[in-house]
Structure 1
Amino acid sequence: MTEQDFILKTYNSTIESGSVKWASPSNIALVKYWGKKKHQIPENPSISFTLSDCKTITEITYTKKQEKGFSFDIYFEGEKSEAFKPKIQTFFERIEIYMPFLKDYHFKIETSNTFPHSSGIASSASGMSAIALCLMSIEQELKADVISTERSMSDEKSHFNQKASFLARLGSGSACRSIEGELVVWGKNESIAESSDLYGVKFEGDVHSNFNKYQDTILLVDKGEKQVSSTVGHQLMYGHPFAKERFDQAHVNLAKLKAILASGDLNEFIKIVESEALTLHAMMMTSMPYFILMKPNTLEIINKIWAFREKTDSKVCFTLDAGANVHVLYPESEKENVLEFIKDELVSFCQNGHYICDQIGQGANQIQF
């Protein structure tokens, strides 16, 4: 697929109004993406677990208007929000060529998260993917009478998901990995035949039963705004002294992880996942200017996990996003023991004792009225 394949060429411009609603989850990368080229193209491939319960629910109501131009209002948790408008304006400008109907309608965007606002969980992935999916459903309604007979139903679904992921990427890079589940690859990699820089693809390789219903408990170490945004962090990979080595490492690690997912080797899984998390933060600490997003309690939790694993031979491990919070990953078979460990030894390092229990999920779903 190329960008040209996603341009909507014909649609029914007489439809006056409608409403669509989607729930789209967040995701957590196992092999990290850090650094991007123009147009939100990743410098290296990544693979992520799609989460189940941490999601954004978005409803978009569209109404035909006379004047041309972008027109939209955003409501977050029931309150009108001006803070999000610049990001959505930029998003619409980026995707207008692929969705020319955007200037024909006024859009009322109502969105909310199932996880606490300002919890320190990145909501751009779930938020932008939910908007992209709603826009795709609107596109589907507008072209219902002019759908190409060249595509089968399965082809239409594949095109829908690919374009939704493609659009989401133009809003937030990691959002392209939130359309499907349980594992999604984004970025071209030789070991994944269908992988693409343009959109995320569902991982179709063999996955051992050890990874069924894999658990992710998110420890909220710091709910504050990050001192350096991810956008700025990505830009600092330009001219980074270790950038090329990092990008090469990600390709190698993704190929290794593909074999690990098939074999079910949890010890090797731990090595890749924790190394990737620490490498991500090492890139931040060695950029210019350098910065640190981990907090003292992040390190306390990591050391506690290592000690617990050494003592019990547990297969629990951690990963980190571009922030201070810790994602504690572990097999479903260890759920009871690990949750007890978290409550006894890790909750004290969380801000206000807050944490969220989640697990691997199946991707986004449309909500019918």
Structure 2
Amino acid sequence: MTYDRPDLTIISSDVQPGSLRWRSPSNIALVKYWGKYGDQLPRNASVSFTLDGAATDTTLHYNVRKDHGQGVDVQLSLDGKLNEGFSTRTAKFFERLLPIYPFLKQLSFRIETNNSFPHSAGIASSASGMSALALCLVSLEEKLFEPFKDRAAFFHKASYLARLGSGSACRSVYGGAAVWGKVDGVPTSSEEYAVAVTEKLHPVFQTYHDDILLISKSEKSVSSRAGHGLMEGNPYAPARYAQANQRTNEMVEVLKRGDVERFGEILESEALTLHALMMSSQPPYVLIRPNTLAVIERLQEFRSSTGIPLYFTLDAGPNLHLLYPNVDAASVKRFIREQLLYFCEDQMYLADRVGKGPEQLEVSVSD
């Protein structure tokens, strides 16, 4: 599929200044995407839960350019302050989109964005940030040109654009659960964009909790972008890709039938496999911290003694996501407060759960 649209050009004098605003959540991968090829395409399929509280609120202001430059004109402010690094990154992203959206170079953009969670909190800010920005851009396309034939087409394109900025961001444009990559049990699945599998979720997973323990808020030593690149020389990569594809297919079925035990088994194995791949890369690197392991041991003891299906996962960092059913929330939160906060930096954790997905918001008068 190609979304290249040389016809999406505008006559600048016809366009009035305007603003669009989306709030988009982050997501937590249940089966991990690790390794890519081509233009941000995944080496294996993945499936994720969309979060609720951890989100990015982005407002896209646009106006007709006066200088008619050849490149793009973008400024981005994070939490009310102009951020040169993010402005440069966003400008490069817009330049990549020029074959799809030629009109971008005819407008100037001012972007205001903020996160509901602290930076380096073990939550994928690139997923929420890029998905929010992609949703603003697709809404802009509709505003300047014509509506999409249906909402599925709208979100497919938003997911496609988000993927070009951050692979995992393509899953954040949907609520509940989403898959990215070809999955046998999901006929509409694709490597180019994610699709929702929310309608397949058993009721127990629709209200699932995800509490994030902040073991460390420090910047990780190896970026996810670099980690993906190191998979190219990893001797275990081919077996891993096959395993992940098989597990994604199985996880979709597990989510459908509500099997919380099998869910947890796959979840934890995926987390440890991800970090084993990092340790077997060349050069190898370790992102898990001693307190990460201490919490895992306490968690496994708690699960064994209580029978409560509390399981963990990890992204590419030391911070733990604890996933469990809503019926067990009181017991788990007491366990976190009494036994696990000691291992967290500043004794911090973030309580979250499976969410309903992005939301278009009214632009505030102050914007």
Q: TM-score, normalising length from structure 2? A: 0.95
Task: Report if aligned partners of 2:260, 2:309 keep a CA contact under 8 Å in 1.
Answer: yes
Is residue 311 of structure 1 aligned with residue 305 of structure 2?
A: yes
Cα gap change, 1:340/1:362 in structure 2, threshold over 3 Å: closer, same or farther? Answer: same
Q: 1:116-172 CA distances to partner (integer Å, 9 max, x unpaired)?
A: 23434321000111111111111111104xx5xxx64xx2x1111011110000000
Residue matched to 2:112 = 110
Is residue 221 of structure 1 aligned with residue 215 of structure 2?
A: yes
Cα gap change, 1:142/1:11 in structure 2, threshold over 3 Å: closer, same or farther? Answer: farther
What is the CA–CA distance in structure 2 between the aligned matches of 1:90 and 1:190, rounded to whole Å? 35
Residue matched to 2:26 = 26
What is the CA–CA distance in structure 1 between the aligned matches of 2:24 and 2:236, rounded to whole Å? 34
* Residue identity in the other structure for 2:205: F
Aligned-pair CA distance for 1:190: 2.1
| Pairs within 5 Å for 1:227-246 | 227-246=221-240
Q: 1:221-275 CA distances to partner (integer Å, 9 max, x unpaired)?
A: 1111110000000000102100000000011111111221122111111111100
1:89 to 68, 88, 91: 91
Is residue 329 of structure 1 aligned with residue 329 of structure 2?
A: no
Task: Report if aligned partners of 2:122, 2:320 keep a CA contact under 8 Å in 1.
Answer: no
* Residue identity in the other structure for 1:258: V
1:180 to 174, 177, 181: 174
What is the CA–CA distance in structure 2 between the aligned matches of 1:58 and 1:261, rounded to whole Å? 31
Give me the CA root mean square deviation. Answer: 1.3
* Residue identity in the other structure for 2:114: S
* Residue identity in the other structure for 1:138: L
Task: Report if aligned partners of 1:11, 1:142 keep a CA contact under 8 Å in 2.
Answer: no
Task: Report if aligned partners of 1:180, 1:202 keep a CA contact under 8 Å in 2.
Answer: yes
Residue matched to 2:127 = 125
What is the CA–CA distance in structure 2 between the aligned matches of 1:206 and 1:165, rounded to whole Å? 19
What is the CA–CA distance in structure 1 between the aligned matches of 2:62 and 2:174, rounded to whole Å? 25
Is residue 165 of structure 1 aligned with residue 152 of structure 2?
A: no
Structure 1 range deviating more: 195-204 or 20-29: 195-204
Task: Report if aligned partners of 2:183, 2:245 keep a CA contact under 8 Å in 1.
Answer: yes
| Pairs within 5 Å for 1:73-84 | 73-84=75-86
Cα gap change, 1:204/1:363 in structure 2, threshold over 3 Å: closer, same or farther? Answer: closer
| Pairs within 5 Å for 1:1-369 | 2-4=1-3, 7=5, 9-10=7-8, 12-13=10-11, 14-66=14-66, 67-68=68-69, 69-144=71-146, 147=147, 152=149, 155=150, 157-203=151-197, 206-369=200-363
Aligned-pair CA distance for 1:366: 0.4
Task: Report if aligned partners of 2:27, 2:124 keep a CA contact under 8 Å in 1.
Answer: no
What is the CA–CA distance in structure 1 between the aligned matches of 2:198 and 2:292, rounded to whole Å? 33
* Residue identity in the other structure for 2:235: P
* Residue identity in the other structure for 1:43: R
Aligned-pair CA distance for 1:205: 5.6
List runs of 5+ in structure 2 lacking aligned partners. none
Task: Report if aligned partners of 1:212, 1:332 keep a CA contact under 8 Å in 2.
Answer: no
